Chains A and B, each alone.
Chain A
Amino acid sequence: MSPTPLASLRAVSKSFGETRAVQGVDLDVASGEVLAVVGENGAGKSTLMRMLAGIHAPDSGQVDVAGRPLAPRPAAAIAAGIGMVHQHFMLVGRLSVAENVVLGEEPRRGFFLDLGRARAAVRELSREHGLAIDPDRLVDDLSVGERQRVEILKVLYRGTRLLVLDEPTAVLTPDESRRLITMARAFAAREGHAVVIVSHKLDEVLSVADRIVVLRRGCKVSTALRGATTAEELADAMVGRHVELPRRTAGDAPREGSALLELRGLKVRRDDGTIAVDGICLGVRGGEIVGVAGVEGNGQAELVSAVAGLARPAAGSIVLSGRDVSRLDVAERQALGLAVIHEDRQLRGLLLGLSVAESFALGRTSEWTRRGLFDRGRLAASAAAGMKRFDVRADGPTTPVAALSGGNQQKVVCAREVGRQHVVLVAAQPTRGVDIGAIEVIYRELLADRARGAAILLISADLGELRALCDRILVLYRGRIVGEATAQEASDERLGRWMTGAESVGEARDA
């Protein structure tokens, strides 16, 4: 390590109200290194990075960049050469790539915006860093991976030397992730440059980072050099106990019998009339978990909406236990045994103003109603039991869900949906943005539900998750199923080729 680190945080602490997000953390970023910061949700990773990027001012402690104290303003951090790429993209969809990149620091020619120079700057930077992109395309038309390139170009345009990437590969295909990692390594190798990656994908962290820092509950609990640690060790350090994510055991084959959920030639249109789901046929039998992989935006959201009853299919039918439910509404489908864990818990799964117990009863109110009135006592008891089984960390059933962490909110949704009388469970991205502890619970319950004989359709962007849980994995590309493999056959390379449309085995049909 060089004598003066590129950036250093000295005993920084930060609280939000009662929550102590970061407590006395020391962190040095040396020139030339790729440093990974790992930890569960709520461990303080993002808060720490935001102090480095001047977005939050530390309550105590000091942030130095190249030996000088950093003023806690985003502009100061940008000027000091720190550029943060946020997990949730900050892009203006209806502006072009070049316009997004130069926004706020526009090249001018007199009164006018010099779009020619903006384009040239984007081309130059994208060539230099291997981030291929057409400066004139609208951001709305870009894939998730391309959008991320625009985000990176934005900070590079501002002369970043320390690149902070917050959960950069959560939404990327395996191939895109590899390219990003190559780019990050090359960037850090430049004179006076470095990269900090915040991630929870431990395999990836181990392959890219020179040094790995583990945070737990706001404290730094360990630092490891590459090659001197394992994914298991890191996971245990993150959680503070030994964890082992449950997997589907190879032995128990799915049950025989007919499919409990069947999609027959399902076609769904987007709001703008374009086809999102283009004639899908699939079936899920009882005791079987069928996975749907694919890059986001290839019809997954519309598929779930159609099955849940939120969108009307343009053609084809949805069959639940042998009955065509395509024309039924959400409640009627639930009554026939459909449970759905929606992708965006805050948009579809929960009402943030409600308490945990009330959230638990959403869409299931009749179970706790007597003579038209809520039986609050009985609901509180059921909710408490659900909280215990799913390890929901909250003060009690009356706590508002808004006060829960993302992982705990998701556990409430899962407890409700898995607890519902059902034969078919649709789970869309059930572990997105939740920590390992919660993932462990959710995996366990999905597998338990499978063992009870439910038919489960699991939509996920995480290939490791699909392999761990699914009997079969289908790949969705532009609204069609372009590949199907068993968990054993499904390598990242193979799924990756299908996911990018590079290869297709024709439309797979269920037996």
Chain B
Amino acid sequence: MIGTLLLQTLALAIPYVLAALGGVFSERGGVINIALEGMLLTGAFFAALGAHAGGTTLGLVAAVGASAALAGLHGLLCVRFRADHVAAGLGINLLASGLTRFLLMACFDSASNSPMLPGMGQGVLASPMLWGTIILVALSHVALARTPFGLRLRAAGEHPQAAHSLGVPVDRVKICGVIASGALAGLGGAFLALDNHQFTAEMSAGRGYIALAAVIFGKWRPVPVAAACLLFAFADALQIELQAVLSGYKQFVQILPYALTLAVLAGFIGRSRPPAALGAR
């Protein structure tokens, strides 16, 4: 049971980690990203569409492309047009929800789900996406801490005027951060659909928001954020296992990951300091 629990945790963690890494890139650049939810969903749908049409690889490419495009829209709204980040994010999420339902009907003639899809490997340990995710966590850390782009992104999220006065193209840097966040969240969505061998409507089911909670809990740093995602994924896995054991209390047990999110945020949100210009327009 412990073995399945841990494997389950890893599988559940992958979309969380990818979306949360996306959240890190967006928010370190100063753009609040509640649109992670919509980006996961969009990624999941386009992964299904691509995989259906031309196999897993095409699915991944389509997921990343579509979700990055959606993120580009979010970046444009927040950065170029100075929209309120939360309102823009909400709009993106509603758009993603409506668009995927519409395309589900248009492409697969179904209101609820896509046809079955090819998966990737047998079990999570054999999935290239597990290793890919681990590498992406490390790469994100290096990109933020050790590259000129990372430095500029952090400066843009902390004190955009200072960065601007030194000739840093602040708007462009921020939008790049948001697009990176879309690409990562799209990959996370792709895993959801491929792991499930199917796209189902609204299958992101709030994971984007939990990923955002992990970003805060992990203090906007890739490695701690990934660890926070593992914690939330563990709670999720535990919930699934417990449902079988405590079948009488199914609804109660299902609350577990969300209750943990709330408890963690209530305890930590005051103590972790967001980028100084997060949400600034």
Residues of A at the B interface (CB closer than 8 Å) are 74-75, 78, 86, 90-95, 99-100, 102-106, 108, 111-113, 115, 154
Contacts and interface: CB of A to CB of B under 8 A. Distances in A.
Interface residues of B, number: 19
Nearest to B156: A92
A78 B154 CA distance: 23
B148 A90 contact: no
Nearest to A104: B166
Contacts, number: 60
Contacts of B154: 92, 94-95
Contacts of A113: 146-148, 150-151
25 contacts: A74-B165, A78-B167, A90-B159, A90-B161, A90-B162, A90-B165, A91-B159, A91-B162, A92-B159, A92-B162, A94-B158, A95-B155, A95-B158, A99-B155, A102-B151, A103-B151, A103-B166, A104-B152, A104-B163, A105-B166, A105-B167, A106-B148, A106-B151, A112-B142, A112-B147
> Which 3 A/B pairs are nearest by Cβ-Cβ distance?
A104-B166, A90-B162, A106-B148
A346 B257 CA distance: 44
B159 A104 contact: no
A93 B159 contact: yes
Contact of A75 (B142, B146, B167): B167
Nearest to B162: A90
Contacts of A93: 158-159, 276
Interface string B19-62: 00000000000000000000000000000000000000000000
Nearest to A155: B166
Nearest to A94: B158
B73 interface: no
A91 B155 CA distance: 9
Given A103-B152, A113-B146, A113-B151, A94 B276 contact: yes
B173 to A, nearest CB: 10
Nearest to A154: B166
A103 B276 contact: no
Nearest to A157: B166
Nearest to B150: A113
A93 B161 CA distance: 13
A95 B276 contact: no
A103 B158 contact: no
A190 B210 CA distance: 59
Given A93-B159, A95-B154, A95-B155, A115 B146 contact: yes
Given A90-B159, A112-B146, A113-B146, A95 B151 contact: yes
B231 interface: no
Contacts of B148: 106, 108, 113
B131 to A, nearest CB: 22
Given A92-B159, A93-B158, A94-B276, A103 B150 contact: no
Contacts of B161: 90
B160 to A, nearest CB: 9
Given A74-B167, A103-B152, A113-B147, 20 more contacts: A75-B167, A90-B161, A90-B162, A90-B165, A92-B155, A92-B158, A92-B162, A93-B159, A94-B154, A95-B155, A102-B151, A103-B151, A103-B155, A103-B162, A103-B168, A105-B166, A108-B148, A112-B142, A112-B147, A113-B148
A104 B173 CA distance: 11
A57 B38 CA distance: 44
Interface string B120-154: 00000000000000000000001000111011101
A91 B151 CA distance: 13
B219 to A, nearest CB: 11
Given A90-B161, A93-B276, A94-B158, A99 B167 contact: no
Contacts of A94: 154, 158, 276
Nearest to A78: B167
A112 B161 CA distance: 24
Contact of B163 (A86, A103, A108): A103
Nearest to A118: B151
Nearest to B270: A271
